[in-house]
């Protein structure tokens, strides 16, 4: 079984593009990239 983490865990405090570095520093090797859309 593999365990990972989603970038959605850090939304909205951390930008999605910055979460990959953070997740890597935390030691995770598997992640789901959750894309968010601005409604502006």
Q: Are 11 and 36 in contact (CB under 8 A)?
A: yes
Task: Kindly report, residue by residue over 1-40, the tens digit of the pLDDT.
Answer: 999 999 999 998 999 999 999 999 999 999 999 987 877 7
Cβ count within 10 A of residue 5: 16
- What pLDDT does residue 40 have? 73
pLDDT at 26: 96
Residue extents of the structural domains in the chain? 1-40
The answer to whether 5 and 20 have CB atoms below 8 angstroms apart is no
Look up residue 8 and give its two tokens: 């959605």
> Rounded to two decimals, what is the model's pTM?
0.74
At residue 35, φ and ψ (nearest 5 deg) are -90, 135
Tell me, what's the pLDDT at 5?
A: 96
d(CA 5, CA 7): 7
Q: What is the pLDDT of residue 8?
A: 95
pLDDT, position 6: 96
């Amino acid at each position: 079984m593999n365990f990972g983490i989603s970038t959605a865990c850090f939304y909205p405090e951390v930008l999605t593009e910055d979460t990959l570095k953070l997740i890597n520093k935390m030691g995770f090797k598997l992640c789901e990239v959750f894309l968010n859309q601005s409604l502006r």
